[in-house]
Amino acid sequence: MVTFVDTVTLHLRAGKGGNGCVSVHREKFKPLGGPDGGNGGDGGDVVLVADPQVTTLLSYHHSPHRAAGNGGFGMGDMRSGAMGEDLELPVPVGTVVKSADGETLVDLLVPGERFIAAAGGQGGLGNAALSSPKRKAPGFALLGTPGYEGSIVLELKTVADVALVGYPSAGKSSLIAAISAARPKIADYPFTTLHPNLGVVQAGDARYTVADVPGLIEGASEGRGLGLEFLRHVERCSALLHVLDCATLEPGRDPISDLDVILAELGSYEVPEGQIPLLERPQLIALNKIDVPEARDLADLVRPELEARGFRVFDISTVSHEGLRPLTFALGELVEKHRVAAAVEAPAERVVIRPKGAVKEFTVRVEGGTYGNVYHVLGEKPLRWVLQTDFQNEEAVGYLADRLEKLGVENELFKLGATAGATVIIGEGNGVVFDWEPTMTSSAELITSARGLDSRLDTNTRRTTSQRRERYHERMDAKAAARAELETERLARRDDLPAEGE
């Protein structure tokens, strides 16, 4: 059964915003009560909270699908919909949140730190909020937008001051049990430790945490054994303690060769950008199991070579507790020195003020299509407006056109050569497809002719006053000639009639 999980994929769905309401106030003797439709409620957010009481991501391994509450619909009489309930997910301190494609979103290092992993949808405005002096009684309301729906990756990296590294069965679990109140599983077989164990050590005035990392073997950085899976828990440690087994009975192994293998694996592991490589951090060596006579002799033999390499070496026994006090005080000194340096080097938080309008709210991308160019309008605001529009309501569609025109979408389309009837898509991929019909402004006509063919310079075909007068006289003369011809025919028919009495 899985008891420890440090990587999990969460599938999140934030709450959907509620639709706005279309309503008109009706009351006796008040025939023109006006619009009173309320707004829809916003959808709930999915929030990650760094909780010191949580030590594993096991609960999310079993239930990876989480959803927040939806917002309520608006109602008449100015009643707004209920806000969707937020969903708070406690995660261990030291959890790194990444997107599905591996981009780091946030690193939750401070207890109580909060991060909105999935933002809820926005509630739609009711017709009361949409009324204006020009639109006194809107017959439409805005729809609620859907919340974020997607996946994120949670990766736990243990937050500890000192990491115990070494071969399996080197005595790391026994050491953390001896110097702290932690009680990890201890047994005489490889890979007893299947997940990191944390212990708090008090050495004089220094108080720090120690992490027991599962044993490393040769090739761990390439995926052999359990080392690669848990090397991430060494990243946050300020100091490393190499626990070397001086009483091993395995052929071909000794403290020097074990140390070389561990250093090679630590050097092959790539830490995130901006962090100190593992081998450049302070390191101490503990020669363990000196309660065994042969192990003590071996420790005396290898100590000079290790000290010649620049390491501080401590002979310890987790059984008799020999040498543990000097070791814990030495580790405390390293931790305190690192904390002081980190406090001095910590840069002051910079406040960045970004004026509104500094960033363009949309872009238009031109793509070639079978029947001409296709214009993709990209941007958070145009896409949100489209999602809020009820396309079954002509008044709502007109309101969308007004909003897009005020945002400058039409001017941008004209600059890129779009003509009436061009295909315009709002949003990525298929999006929402329109056959564009440009809006004519009252200030001037928008020119759609090609360069060098300004339609305003074309010959004016409107008739002048003299031309209209000449045309009028021509019509009058034609009418007079027609009347004279009719009169001549009438007289001729009269002359052809027999005289009276003949």
In this structure, are residues 224 and 265 in contact, taking their beta carbons and an 8 Å threshold?
no
197-203 and 206-212 beta bridge pairing: antiparallel
- The reported pLDDT for the residue numbered 500 is 58
For residue 272, being part of any structural domain is answered with: yes
Q: How far apart are CA 308 and CA 297, in angstroms?
A: 18
Distance CA 123, CA 126 (A): 9
Helix axes 324-345, 172-179, angle to 10 degrees: 80
At 63, phi and psi to the nearest 5? -130, 80
What is the spatial distance between Cα 490 and Cα 477, in angstroms, rounded to a whole number? 20
Q: 196 to each of 104, 160, 261, how far by Cα in Å?
A: 23, 10, 20
The pLDDT value recorded for residue 289 is 87
Q: Residues within the annotated binding site? A: 166-173, 191-195, 212-215, 288-291, 317-319
195 and 336 part of one domain: yes
321 and 271 both lie in a single domain: yes
What's residue 133's pLDDT? 87
Q: Please give the annotated binding residues for GTP, written as ranges.
A: 166-173, 191-195, 212-215, 288-291, 317-319
The pLDDT value recorded for residue 269 is 77
**Which of 176, 162, 179, 82 minimizes the C-alpha distance to 123?**
82
Per the annotation, binding residues for Mg(2+) are 173, 193
Domain range for 483 is 461-494
Structural domain count, the chain: 4
pLDDT at 121: 94
Based on the fold, state whether residues 144 and 207 are members of the same structural domain: no
Looking at the structure, tell me whether residues 179 and 270 fall in a common domain. Answer: yes
CA–CA gap between residue 337 and residue 313 (Å, rounded):
19
> How many whole angstroms from its chain centre is CA 4?
27
Return the SS3 of 66.
strand
Residue 501 is assigned to a structural domain of this protein: no
Output the domain CATH number for residue 415: 3.30.300.350
The pLDDT of residue 67 is: 95
Same domain, yes or no, for 142 and 249? no
Q: Which residue ranges of the chain lie beneath pLDDT 50?
A: 1-2, 187, 189-194, 220-227, 441-447, 451, 454, 456
- Are 79 and 201 within one domain? no
Residues 262 and 397 both lie in one domain: no
Contact 403, 385 (CB under 8 A): yes
Kindly state whether residues 1 and 147 are assigned to the same domain: yes
What pLDDT digit, counting tens, does each position of 275-314 carry? 788 888 899 999 988 888 888 888 899 899 999 988 999 9
Q: Last residue of some domain: 345, 378, 407?
A: 345
Do 214 and 238 lie in a common domain?
yes
Question: Is the whole model's pTM more than 0.95, yes or no?
Answer: no
